[in-house]
Amino acid sequence: MTAIRLHPRSDIVAMSTEPIGKKALVVDDDASVLRLMTHWLTRAGYSVVPCESFEQGKQQLTDSPPDVLLTDLRLGAFNGLQLVIQARAQSPETISVVMSAFDDMTLRDEAARCGASYLMKPFSLTQLLEVANRESDTGAPLDPVA
């Protein structure tokens, strides 16, 4: 299990209680990370669908593609990049963000090739929202974020 620490700047972003009309799918097999990401995104105004397994995430992608996909890289025997590839095939406008506690340049490059941003754990809500907002404004994936 990966322990998530709140980044010192995590409280910089003003939280919104107003829905922003965007749906986020969060997939992580670590319950504490799943709760934190769900809390952050809900407070930022997203409608959040949390999934604790690759299989649940894959089913949600099929049933109702999200505006934003936030997935852990390692999901048991599966890889979060598989979800990114599925999301892109079904809904090319879906913004994909891969989270990992491991800083691996090969994985960063692979995420970028799949059209996803790469966030290193721990990261702040500010960093997460900057990635999602800049991508949705330009329609193109960002360079990986450390």
Radius of gyration of the chain (CA): 14
Which residue type, as a one-letter code, is found at position 49?
A: V
pLDDT at 129 over 80: yes
- pTM for the model: 0.80
Which DSSP letter does residue 118 get?
A: E
- Token representation of residue 43: 């407070």
Contact indicator for 88, 115 with CB cutoff of 8 Å: yes
Strands 68-72 and 95-100: parallel
Handedness of CA 136, 99, 22, 17 (dihedral sign): negative
Taking all residues of the chain, what is their mean pLDDT, rounded to a whole number? 83
Nearest alpha carbon to residue 146 among 91, 115, 88, 107: 107
> Phi first, then psi: what are they for 11, rounded to 5°?
-100, 10
At residue 117, the pLDDT reads: 94
At residue 69, the pLDDT reads: 97
Contact indicator for 115, 96 with CB cutoff of 8 Å: yes
Strands 78-79 and 95-100: unpaired
pLDDT at 7 over 50: no
pLDDT at 12 over 90: no
